């Protein structure tokens, strides 16, 4: 019989292996799904995982998809490390895009990079302020952060829709809900000849590495980690919970807001209603897949970006609905959480006969039966 | 305001509040057992999709309803497996359930977008529906609304007046004491989680078979989340839940009312109202943290493993 037993110490090995196992299990389940749809799993995996990496155009698009995921997930990881449940990256991203677009639309062709910088900063600050709302409510009224950040995601979405249908709509756009195309001066420089990937991917990686260094090499980072794993201990040590909560929430908001403005001034080049295919929610999975470690998150974001890219390709090549991305994300997150069981528990083999024969089972064995 | 408009608003509020009430009732039972399932939105979406698909392909609304309940419970079982057997973090697992449910329902329902079924029709209860004002308000609805009235009563009775309810609350307050008394904590929690799933599935079916008889990706639009705040609003009491759900119903249709009066505000800004209202209500009820702390089941969101104390 297979039995589970709590480990005395959580397993370091398993904490790194569990995302790998989760990815393998997700692939197994998807194989079954592909077979049921009469699609050869080998073909499907080629389209989903290899094709996004196949040529420079696809690689560029992969970076386009990875950038917002990496930015949002880095911010969320800081929050989750501190045990602060911020689910609001999606709304912060949308508001960042909206406010950034307002600034971008004020630019002319000769505005210069100064105005681009202002636009980017405005987007980041907008995301930060959007994150400040639930933080303030949490501090003042003890509202549940999960629920307020989610409500603000919906409010942010409708705010964006209002902007793109109303004040920011292109007057020459025949009533289509989109803004005018931004002036070249406020577009982020691209990093490749063909393709839309902009320097924002480089910035995103720098921000992630920076966060990693802060988290693991500085005193505030240490305080944040202590606060997250053992709040009473952090209080006892005199760490200010106010400071920690505000700093992680505002950082996360700024990063998500930047992700939004980098989308509209980067690959999209104007404000449209479909800024995000749920990047802010997928970033939650990316943060977990990367073990809440900014260095791991860089890989996780590229993996999730591949999934988004792959599902675009699968739609074209295999006629699969794009909804499959969300499905994969859900399955992956389930397996990630399930595999974390292995960090704190070990699975042991125990012959059933011995347990059944022993007249007086030990205390641990009796209790195992109830689990 | 004239009486007729007022009455119409209240009727609409009940219709709009019904899915919130159903899903929140399920979550309340679940939370009473100490389990916080944030996957309501995902379970509701699966219920809505399965209910619509069932009714569309079989032509039977009853079969659709049954499928919706099964879909909700299946989703809840996945949550139970992870959070109860594998002791995963309940918050993260609930989020996963929502992401999974949104993805799976969109994937499976992709060919149903644009299809139509004839949804549940209102049945006027003879005599009672003739009572002025009250009649049209409470006795001229479809069967799901009547069902929700009944479920409120049943849930209140079970939670507060039966041995099963006592067991449920004991597990939610202190699972280790309950375990010591011989109560099978995991079993009780599984039942509570599954009941929550069934209610969420039903709420989803109400959305896709009664409220707007159709299927659309993410059509529940955050109602699962609003229902979660509703449980806090009701301080885990069934009676308050009903009041709260209809109040939220009013908040959700406020934009219709305002348009009726002649306000010309962008529909997108008006659509924010229920979410803003949720935040406002949360602020009001959370400002006294002690009260909330006393009302919430003590072991809410804490995993239980009899081997580690």
Other residues' Cβ atoms within 10 Å of the Cβ of residue A274:
10
Task: Let me know: does A283 contact A8? Beta carbons within 8 Å.
Answer: no
Contact criterion met (CB < 8 Å) for B99 and A341 = no
- pLDDT tens by residue, A145-172: 999 999 999 999 999 999 999 999 998 8
Q: Which tokens sit at B303? A: 């995993």
Contact criterion met (CB < 8 Å) for A151 and B268 = no
Whether the full predicted model's pTM is greater than 0.80, yes or no, is yes
CA distance A340 to A347: 13
Buried b (16+ CB within 10 A) or exposed e, B101-119: bbbbbbbbbbebeeeebeb
In which element (H, E) is residue B141 found? Answer: strand B140-141
Contact criterion met (CB < 8 Å) for A161 and B179 = no
Measured in residues, chain B has a length of 309
Contact criterion met (CB < 8 Å) for A341 and B232 = no
Tracing tokens 């979410």 back to the chain, one arrives at B275
CA distance A119 to A106: 9
3-state secondary structure of A240: coil
In this complex, which of A142, A165, A329 lies closest to B266 when CB atoms are compared? Answer: A165
Please give the ipTM for the structure prediction: 0.90
Q: pLDDT band at residue A362, thresholds of 50, 70 and 90?
A: very low
pLDDT at A109: 78
- Tens of pLDDT along chain B (309 residues) come to 577 778 888 899 999 999 999 999 999 999 999 999 999 999 999 999 999 999 999 999 999 999 999 999 999 999 999 999 998 989 889 999 999 999 999 999 999 998 989 989 888 888 888 888 888 888 888 999 999 999 999 999 999 999 999 999 999 999 999 999 999 999 999 999 999 999 999 999 999 999 999 999 999 999 999 999 899 889 899 999 999 999 888 888 877 777 777 777 888 888 898 899 889 988 988 887 777 777 889 888 888 887 765
Contact criterion met (CB < 8 Å) for B99 and A161 = no
In this complex, which of B88, B93, B106 lies closest to A323 when CB atoms are compared? Answer: B106
- Most B CBs within 10 A among A138, A276, A347, A370, hence the mutation to make, goes to A370
Q: pLDDT band at residue A104, thresholds of 50, 70 and 90?
A: very high
Which of A87, A61, A369 lies closest to A253 in space, CA to CA?
Answer: A87
- pLDDT tens by residue, A10-50: 888 888 888 899 999 999 999 998 898 888 999 998 988 88
Q: How far is CA B227 from CA A311, B18, B19, B72, in A?
A: 32, 11, 9, 15
In which element (H, E) is residue A94 found? Answer: helix A89-105
**A317 vs A261, which has greater pLDDT?**
A261
Which of A228, A293, A331, A369 lies closest to A16 in space, CA to CA?
Answer: A293
Contacts of A325 in chain B (CB under 8 A): 103
Highest averaged pLDDT of the listed ranges A81-85, A367-371, B132-136: A81-85
Contacts of B225 in chain A (CB under 8 A): 147, 150-151
Strands (DSSP E) found in chain A: 2-6, 345-349
């Amino acid at each position: 019989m297979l039995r589970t037993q709590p480990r005395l110490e959580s397993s370091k090995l398993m904490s790194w292996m569990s995302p790998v196992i989760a990815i393998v299990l997700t692939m197994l389940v998807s194989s079954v799904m592909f077979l049921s749809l009469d699609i050869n799993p080998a073909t499907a995996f080629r389209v989903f995982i290899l094709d996004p990496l196949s040529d420079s155009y696809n690689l560029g698009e992969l970076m386009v998809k990875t950038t917002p995921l990496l930015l949002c997930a880095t911010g969320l990881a800081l929050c989750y490390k501190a045990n602060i449940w911020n689910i609001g990256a999606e709304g912060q991203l949308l508001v960042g895009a909206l406010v950034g677009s307002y600034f971008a639309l004020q630019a002319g062709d000769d505005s210069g990079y100064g105005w681009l910088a202002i636009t980017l900063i405005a987007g980041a600050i907008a995301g930060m302020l959007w994150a400040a709302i639930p933080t303030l409510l949490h501090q003042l009224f003890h509202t549940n952060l999960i629920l307020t950040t989610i409500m603000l995601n919906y409010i942010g979405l409708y705010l964006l829709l209002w902007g793109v249908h109303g004040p920011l709509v292109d007057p020459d756009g025949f009533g289509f809900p989109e803004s005018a195309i931004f002036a070249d001066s406020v577009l982020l420089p691209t990093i490749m000849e063909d393709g839309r990937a902009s320097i924002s991917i480089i910035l995103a990686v720098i921000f992630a590495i920076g966060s990693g260094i802060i988290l693991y090499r500085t005193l505030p980072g240490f305080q944040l980690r202590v606060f997250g794993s053992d709040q009473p201990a952090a209080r006892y040590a005199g760490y200010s919970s106010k400071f920690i909560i505000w700093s992680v929430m505002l950082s996360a908001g700024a990063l998500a807001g930047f992700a939004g403005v980098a989308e509209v001034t980067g690959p999209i080049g104007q404000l449209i209603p479909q800024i995000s295919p749920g990047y802010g929610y997928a970033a939650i999975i990316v943060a977990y897949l990367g073990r809440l470690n900014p260095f791991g998150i860089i890989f996780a974001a590229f993996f999730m970006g591949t999934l988004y890219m792959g599902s675009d390709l699968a739609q074209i090549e295999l006629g699969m609905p794009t909804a499959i991305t969300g499905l994969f994300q859900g399955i992956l997150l389930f397996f990630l959480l399930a595999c974390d069981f292995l960090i704190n528990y070990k699975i042991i083999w125990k012959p059933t006969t011995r347990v059944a024969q022993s007249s007086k089972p030990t205390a641990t064995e009796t209790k195992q039966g109830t689990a | 305001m004239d009486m007729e408009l007022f009455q119409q608003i209240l009727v609409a509020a009940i219709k709009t509040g019904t899915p919130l009430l159903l899903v929140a009732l399920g979550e309340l039972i679940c939370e009473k057992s100490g389990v916080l399932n944030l996957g309501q939105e995902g379970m509701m979406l699966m219920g809505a999709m399965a209910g619509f698909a069932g009714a569309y392909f079989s032509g039977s609304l009853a079969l659709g309803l049954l499928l919706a309940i099964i879909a909700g419970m299946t989703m809840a079982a996945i949550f139970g497996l992870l959070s109860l057997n594998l002791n995963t973090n309940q918050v993260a697992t609930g989020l996963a359930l929502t992401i999974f449910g949104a993805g799976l329902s969109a994937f499976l329902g992709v060919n149903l977008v644009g299809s139509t079924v004839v949804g549940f029709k209102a049945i006027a209860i003879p005599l009672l529906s003739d009572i002025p004002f009250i009649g049209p308000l409470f006795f001229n609805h479809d069967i799901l609304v009547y069902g929700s009235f009944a479920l409120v009563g049943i849930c209140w009775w079970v939670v507060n007046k039966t041995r099963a309810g006592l067991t449920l609350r004991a597990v939610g307050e202190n699972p280790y004491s309950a375990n010591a008394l011989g109560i099978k904590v995991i079993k009780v929690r599984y039942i509570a989680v599954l009941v929550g799933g069934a209610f969420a599935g039903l709420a989803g079916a109400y959305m896709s078979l009664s409220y707007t008889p159709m299927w659309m990706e993410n059509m529940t639009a955050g109602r699962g989340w609003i229902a979660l705040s509703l449980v806090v609003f009701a301080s885990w009491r069934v009676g308050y839940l009903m009041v709260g759900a209809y109040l939220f119903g009013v908040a959700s249709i406020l934009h219709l009312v305002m348009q009726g009066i002649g306000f010309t505000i962008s529909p997108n800004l008006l659509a924010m109202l229920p979410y803003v209202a949720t935040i406002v209500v949360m602020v009001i009820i959370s400002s006294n943290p002690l009260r909330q702390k006393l009302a919430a089941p003590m072991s809410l969101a804490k995993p239980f493993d009899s081997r580690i104390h």
